[in-house]
Structure 1
Amino acid sequence: MKKRSFLAAGVTAVAAVTLCSSPAFAGDKLMYTANGGGTLGFVANGDTFTVCDRKADGYSPVMEGIAEGHKFSFGEDGGVYNCNSYKRNIREGAKITMRVCLEKRYNGPKHYCSAWESTKA
């Protein structure tokens, strides 16, 4: 019994150190579609956007963004639990406005969109 408690405490401590040692940047963002079927993550260090499909519902996540006066979008259509990342070179400190939606086919009608949110590159 003591061995299990010690092992569990050790695993918890390693996980806490790993999570705390990763630097967080002011511009990092995680967003969800209104129904939780898709996510959009943005990491400011490297200007990387990642969309993930979280439900087997026939929808695919797509992100829409605006940065430095330019609109851009991309999606993921590989099915549930798949993710797709996109890097874009955005000037340091520039405002980025983005949202994540679900759609049945690329460029189709958007459903369950998150609110538009802004951060900095």
Structure 2
Amino acid sequence: MNEEEPNNWRNFVKVRRILGVSAGAVALALSLSTNAFAADYSVQTDDGDPGGKLSFVSDGDIMTVKDQEADGWGVKAWVWIDGNLQYTLQAGGNGNTDTARASDGGSHNLPEGKTLKVRVCLHKENEDAYCDDASGWQTA
């Protein structure tokens, strides 16, 4: 063994430790950022392989409807408070979404401490199908 080998080995070990710590930090950051945007509530259309989904993050009143299948149907959602329609969302095309946020203002800025009722359906022209309702969603 020559004199350089122990130093090279030490350097190798140091680099591995740095890479391990860095990889751990990146994994933690990704985990935290993913959880920060996780929906508080969600509901899907009632078909066997749900083609639509509605999700809500109460912090920021972020309501998102998503078309989850290339089946020729779009997805439509309704949001009510105290029996009054606040707004609708609609998305068409597999993977496409429509999102409303409090920062959009108007009816999208939902009052605090209210209970929402929502409905999500597959939608084509003037037809709604496979609807599912949810209630009890709380604004923050």
Q: Same fold judged by TM-score > 0.5?
A: yes
Q: CA deviation at 1:90?
A: 1.1
Q: CA deviation at 1:86?
A: 1.4
TM-score, normalised to structure 1's length? 0.74
Q: Which has the larger radius of gyration?
A: 2
Contact in 2 for aligned 1:96/1:118 (Cα 8 Å): yes
Contact in 2 for aligned 1:98/1:118 (Cα 8 Å): no
Q: CA deviation at 1:43?
A: 0.8
Which residue is equivalent to 2:41? Answer: 29
**Cα deviation 1:49-98 (Å, max 9, x = unaligned):** 11111111111111111114420212113x11111101211111111111
Which residue is equivalent to 1:50? Answer: 64
Return 5+ residue gaps in structure 1 as ranges.
1-6
Q: How far apart are the structure 2 equivalents of 1:86 and 1:24?
A: 14
Contact in 1 for aligned 2:121/2:131 (Cα 8 Å): yes
Aligned amino acid, residue 18 of structure 1 = L
- Aligned partner of residue 31 in structure 1, secondary structure: strand
Higher relative contact order (CA 8 A, sep 6+): 1
Which residue is equivalent to 2:80? Answer: 66
| Aligned length in residues | 110
TM-score, normalised to structure 2's length? 0.65
Which residue is equivalent to 2:137? Answer: 119
Aligned amino acid, residue 133 of structure 2 = A
Contact in 1 for aligned 2:43/2:134 (Cα 8 Å): no
Which residue is equivalent to 1:110? Answer: 128
Determine if the alignment matches structure 1 residue 19 to structure 2 residue 48: no
What is the Cα-based RMSD across aligned positions, in Å?
2.7
Among 110, 115, 130, the residue aligned to 1:90: 110
Q: How far apart are the structure 2 equivalents of 1:52 and 1:24?
A: 15
Return 5+ residue gaps in structure 2 as ranges.
1-19, 102-107
Determine if the alignment matches structure 1 residue 76 to structure 2 residue 58: no
Aligned amino acid, residue 41 of structure 2 = K
Distance 1:60 1:91, change over 3 A: same
Aligned amino acid, residue 113 of structure 1 = C
* Structure having the larger proportion of residues in helix: 2
Q: CA deviation at 1:115?
A: 3.0
